[in-house]
């Protein structure tokens, strides 16, 4: 990041190439809204570029970027909520929007032969029904593969809170998705 | 630089964490296969936005833009722009081209003391006597207490180990430690001090900014001795701001104010304790200076304002003499480090070693004397009676 702080675009492109896909996946799994996730991903890297000089040597880049991403997501969601708009049919972060407004999945879940698309839709709806805090923690740990310790660093919460949130989210999701054996 | 683990439920989990129920992992894998996350915006798109906004690494871009705004509208413009950038304020502009010409665009004329180093991309710049031509982005490091003159209207008193980055003649970014700013009033120009989480705009005044690392996030203490400043956090969505008047201070942790502005007249209580109730005269004597904050606000610690308000220990010797021993960093056995403030109801203990003060046997009487920043009167600890063998 020292090179990035000095304005080295090639170095920043390497950072982007390596981290933009998982950051985009994280943000998309927070809101299941492509437009909002793209905006927040772009905002994440713009903020990272601006703040590169404040990146502490020896610190780990991934948690730092995920932390910026989480704040960018919150800002993007809040800005959209202020505008009161869902300009491209998007879902405001932390709220169930059009993409989450399908009927409850229990009936469909009973169908053992449900396709993967139905699984994806059910998981998305179940995630969107979680509180923002539970969802962010679950997505980081269980879907993006961060360790509990890294998730604690990203969310700036104690390790024990990460574990309890993941456990609570799992319990909720197991209940919501019990029909998909 | 540690990359994240590969995404997906197959990624290894923390050894401390139990695996998710298998069926949940399976469902996540099926969902990912059916609806993979969309691709991120391409790098060129990110850079296009950065170029369009002039968002270069490091804080003066905004300030330079603001300098072109009519003064009457500047404050509103600053606030509006800060809101518009949505949380991550970057006031820092492009690094200027290396130059030795004081008339060159972006040149910053510095007068520096020998204990100050100016670094450009990590390499020290050689001063011409006591002056130096710097540019935005150069970093200033104080190896000892020193005064830095920035242009013709700003003087900055740097405490040992203070670090800042230049943003131009009207802006600096405090990186670490404590500095006191003396800014002469100008009808159309104001001075900006930014940290990673807090920004301070002066209106022709004398104020101090102290930055230190804290496990809870960057800690910033702003104190005003003369005039007024406006202070606002840079990372909070709803950006409250405070106007601090002379004799007021405000502390932040991770960009959040720890309470309301407090009066600088409030001060920690100081007491002295001897580690050995009857020390020997031929050995160093260690005394504990204990600062207690009895208030619900943060307090600046006078011990770290060595230039104008030294902390010293008044020692009455057995023969009736009086010594004033200034407490220097070198005497601190424990509790040293520049830039400290005391949290509400908090306590700081400094262990101070005296090598030669107690060279004769007899009874000594000690008082610690201090003067908090902004206060005109002195404070003193209760007397400690120390019999030396």
Mutate to test the interface with A, among B88, B97, B166, B175 (most CBs of A within 10 A): B88
Average pLDDT over residues B280-295: 85
Beta bridge partners of B163: B141, B176
Cβ <8 Å between B41 and A41? yes
Chain segment A11-61, per-residue pLDDT in tens:
889 999 999 999 999 998 888 888 888 888 988 898 888 777 777 777 788
> If residue B351 lies in a helix (H) or strand (E), which one and from where to where?
strand B347-354
Cβ <8 Å between B49 and A42? yes
pLDDT of residue B55: 45
Chain segment A140-169, per-residue pLDDT in tens:
999 888 999 989 888 878 888 888 888 888
Q: In this structure, what token pair is assigned to residue A26?
A: 């994280």
Q: Is the dihedral of CA A121, A124, A128, A134 positive or negative?
A: positive
> If residue B123 lies in a helix (H) or strand (E), which one and from where to where?
strand B123-124
Structural contact between residues B247 and B265, judged by C-beta atoms closer than 8 angstroms: yes
Chain A, residues 135-154, CB within 8 A of chain B, namely 141-150
**What secondary structure does DSSP assign to A133-154, as a single string?**
HHHHHHIIIIIS---HHHHHHH
Q: Which residues contact A114 (CB under 8 A, 6 or more apart)?
A: A108, A122, A179, A180
pLDDT of residue A107: 40
Contacts of A21 in chain B (CB under 8 A): 7, 37, 39-40
* Burial of B100 (C-beta count, 10 Å sphere; 0-12/13-18/19+): exposed
Structural contact between residues B270 and B114, judged by C-beta atoms closer than 8 angstroms: no
Chain B, residues 219-238, CB within 8 A of chain A, namely 235, 237
Mutate to test the interface with A, among B5, B14, B44, B197 (most CBs of A within 10 A): B14
List phi, psi (to 5°) of A11: -65, -40
Whole-number Cα distances in Å, B109 to A84, A130, B66, B98, B101? 49, 56, 21, 13, 9
Distance CA B314, CA B306 (A): 16
Structural contact between residues A8 and B57, judged by C-beta atoms closer than 8 angstroms: no
Please give the span between the terminal C-alpha atoms of chain A, in angstroms, as a whole number: 45
pLDDT of residue B240: 65
Contacts of B17 in chain A (CB under 8 A): 141, 147-148, 163, 166
Chain segment A56-79, per-residue pLDDT in tens:
777 788 888 998 888 777 766 655
For A123, which of B28, B55, B165 is closest by C-beta distance? Answer: B28
pLDDT of residue B54: 52
For A145, which of B6, B49, B217 is closest by C-beta distance? Answer: B6
Structural contact between residues B299 and B347, judged by C-beta atoms closer than 8 angstroms: no
Cβ <8 Å between B14 and A147? yes
């Amino acid at each position: 990041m020292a090179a990035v702080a000095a304005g080295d675009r090639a170095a920043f492109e390497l950072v982007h190439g390596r981290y933009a896909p998982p950051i985009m996946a994280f943000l998309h799994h927070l809101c299941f809204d492509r437009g909002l996730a793209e905006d927040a991903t772009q905002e994440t890297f713009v903020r990272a570029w601006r703040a590169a000089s404040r990146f502490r040597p020896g610190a780990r880049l991934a948690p730092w970027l995920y932390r910026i991403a989480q704040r960018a997501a919150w800002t993007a969601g809040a800005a959209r909520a202020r505008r009161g708009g869902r300009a491209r049919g998007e879902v405001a972060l932390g709220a169930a929007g059009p993409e989450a407004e399908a009927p409850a999945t229990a009936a469909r879940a009973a169908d053992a032969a449900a396709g993967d698309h139905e699984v994806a839709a059910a998981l998305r709806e179940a995630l969107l029904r979680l509180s923002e805090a539970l969802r962010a923690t679950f997505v980081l740990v269980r879907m993006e593969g961060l360790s509990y310790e890294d998730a604690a660093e990203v969310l700036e919460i104690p390790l024990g809170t990460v574990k309890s949130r993941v456990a609570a989210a799992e319990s909720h999701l197991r209940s919501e998705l019990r029909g998909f054996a | 630089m540690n990359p994240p683990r590969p995404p997906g439920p197959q990624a290894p989990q923390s050894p401390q964490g139990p695996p998710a129920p298998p069926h949940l992992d399976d469902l996540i894998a099926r969902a990912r296969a059916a609806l993979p996350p969309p691709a991120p915006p391409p790098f060129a798109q990110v850079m296009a936005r950065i170029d369009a906004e002039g968002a270069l690494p490091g804080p003066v871009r905004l300030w330079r833009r603001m300098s072109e705004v009519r003064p009457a509208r500047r404050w509103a413009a600053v606030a509006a722009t800060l809101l518009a950038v949505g949380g991550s304020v970057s006031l820092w502009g492009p690094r200027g081209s290396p130059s030795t010409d004081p008339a060159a665009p972006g040149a910053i004329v510095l007068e520096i003391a020998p204990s100050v180093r100016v670094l450009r991309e990590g390499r020290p710049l050689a001063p011409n006597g006591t002056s130096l031509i710097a540019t935005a982005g150069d970093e200033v490091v104080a190896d000892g207490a020193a005064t830095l003159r920035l242009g013709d209207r700003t003087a900055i008193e740097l405490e040992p180990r203070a670090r800042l980055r230049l943003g131009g003649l009207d802006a600096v970014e405090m990186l670490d430690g404590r500095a006191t700013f003396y800014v002469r009033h100008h009808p159309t120009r104001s001075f900006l001090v930014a940290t990673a989480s807090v920004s301070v705009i002066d209106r022709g005044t004398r104020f101090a900014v102290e930055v230190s690392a804290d496990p809870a996030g960057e800690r910033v203490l702003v104190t005003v001795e003369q005039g007024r400043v406006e202070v606002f956090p840079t990372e909070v969505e709803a950006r409250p701001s405070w106007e601090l008047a002379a004799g007021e201070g405000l502390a932040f942790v991770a960009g959040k104010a720890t309470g309301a502005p407090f009066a600088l007249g409030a001060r920690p209580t100081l007491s002295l304790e001897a580690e050995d109730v009857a020390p020997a005269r031929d050995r160093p004597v260690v005394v504990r200076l204990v600062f207690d904050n009895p208030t619900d606000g943060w307090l600046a610690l006078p011990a770290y304002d060595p230039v104008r308000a030294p902390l010293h220990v008044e020692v009455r010797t057995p023969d009736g003499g009086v010594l004033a021993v200034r407490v220097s960093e070198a005497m601190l056995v424990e509790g040293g480090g520049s830039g400290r403030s005391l949290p509400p109801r908090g306590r700081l203990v400094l262990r101070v070693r005296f090598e030669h003060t107690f060279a004769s046997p007899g009874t000594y009487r000690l008082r610690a004397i201090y003067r908090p920043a902004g206060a005109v009167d002195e404070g003193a600890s209760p007397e400690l009676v120390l019999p030396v063998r």
